[in-house]
Structure formats: C-alpha cells, structure tokens
Structure 1
Amino acid sequence: MLKILIIIFLGMSSSAYALNIDKACEEYGEQKQALLSNLSTSYKEANMAGQCIGYSAVLRGNGIKLKQLCSEFIEHKENLLGRLSTSLTEANMAGQCIGAIYAACNNINFTSAAKIISHSNDSFTMSRSRIRHYLNCYD
C-alpha cells in the first residue's frame, strides 16, 4: 500500500513539469481573462501559467530573477509529497523557472539546469544570454 502511494505521489509531482509552451500560454491567457485572474484552479494550471510567464519574459528580453524561481522548482522536485505541500504561488514560481530555461536553451534537462542556477551566486535578473552562459547551451 505504501509503495502504491509513493508511486502516485512521484507521478503527480513529475507530470506537472511537462512543457508545452502553446498550452501554457493558452492557460495563462485564460487566467488573465478570468474574473479572479490571480487565482489558478489547480497546481498544474498555476505551473503552466508560470511556464508562459518565464518563457515570455526571457524572449521579450526583460530577463527574470531565476535563482529563487529555480530554487522553488528544485524544492518541489525533491519533495516526496510533491504538489500536496505546494501552494499555487509556488507552483507558478517553479513554472517560471522551467519556462525561462526553455526560452534560453530549449529542451535540456530542466532539473539539472535549475540546480545549476539555484546554486549560483547570481541573484540578479538574468537575461537570455546570461542563462545560456550559466547553462552552456549556446546555439
């Protein structure tokens, strides 16, 4: 019984990080148009909206404060309870991390990339070129 619960928890926590920017931005657009625009209805929706926010910020050249966002992502990846102990705000932050990494480096190992950034000494806003520098993912 315990093994089944652990497998379910691990499956729930890893499935939320699947990346589809088109769907993520569609979800973010729906949330922006909703009456209660700051409230996601689920962990997955909050994470998807965050993916779009991170992706868009990096592509627009605004940059993003990735250290804290990626620390949140890593915290949830390593948490055995997964999203059961995660707020919607934290899920959104974790999504921003992977969205920003995806915008800079496309499909790399998000967990490894997030660990590199979260362990960096750089707590300032990171541009696309700075993210690429940290992750060594040039085109």
Structure 2
Amino acid sequence: MGFFARWLFAFGLLAVTYNPTQYNYVAWVMQHGASNLSIAVLGGLLLLVGYIIYLRATLRSIGGFGMALVLAVVGAVLWVLYDLGLLTLDNGNLNTWLGVFALSLVLGVGLNWSHVRRRLSGQADMDDVDE
C-alpha cells in the first residue's frame, strides 16, 4: 500500500467524521443518534480505532514537532496560493474541506514516514520487524 492509499484512508477517516455536508458521522449522530444509540456507539468506536491507529503511528514516526511542521508547511502552501490569488477563503465550506485536507496530510505523512525513512536511509525504526 503506497503513500496515496494511506493518505486517502486518512482523508476518508476525517471526512466521514466531519465535513461541511450533511453526510458525516457528527451530523448523523446529532440528528439520529438518540434513536439509534447502538449504531452511533459502534460507529464512534470504529472511528476511534482508526484515529488511534493513525495518531499512534504518526506520533511514533514524526512526533508532535513533526506534526506541527507538516501542518505549517501545508499552511504556508495555502498562504502562497492565497497571496497569488489562486485561492479565496470566503467560502466556509471550502475552508472546512481545506482543514480536512490539511489534517489528512499530517496523518498521511505520519503513517508513511517510517517507510520513507527506511527507503532513504536503509535504517529501520526500533519497532520495525523484518518483513
């Protein structure tokens, strides 16, 4: 599974949890969660498992500083696009999607960083096992 697939899953995880449309977990729970409590809890637990996998791998590979650095780079790219007139920030829905995109990049880079470092340096992380 390559970088794109890992990033796409992170994007999907974040988008399923919350996005500016009505089709997300948060909106569904707010509207129907009380009448479907067992489904709401199951869905929340499945999302939590996904977040734990991604956050644990991200924190172990790039740490909090690396997460902040990736987010800063994404923010700087968005700033450049805004300064060049290629991006406007007047649309709240677009801003939410940009936030989902930025956070998914942080999680995607975090999950992929160990693979990238191993290929670049030839050194495995302490927790890596021979494949």
TM over 0.5: no
Structure 1 or 2: larger helix share? 2
- Taking structure 1 as the reference length, what is the TM-score of the superposition? 0.27
Higher relative contact order (CA 8 A, sep 6+): 2
- Taking structure 2 as the reference length, what is the TM-score of the superposition? 0.29
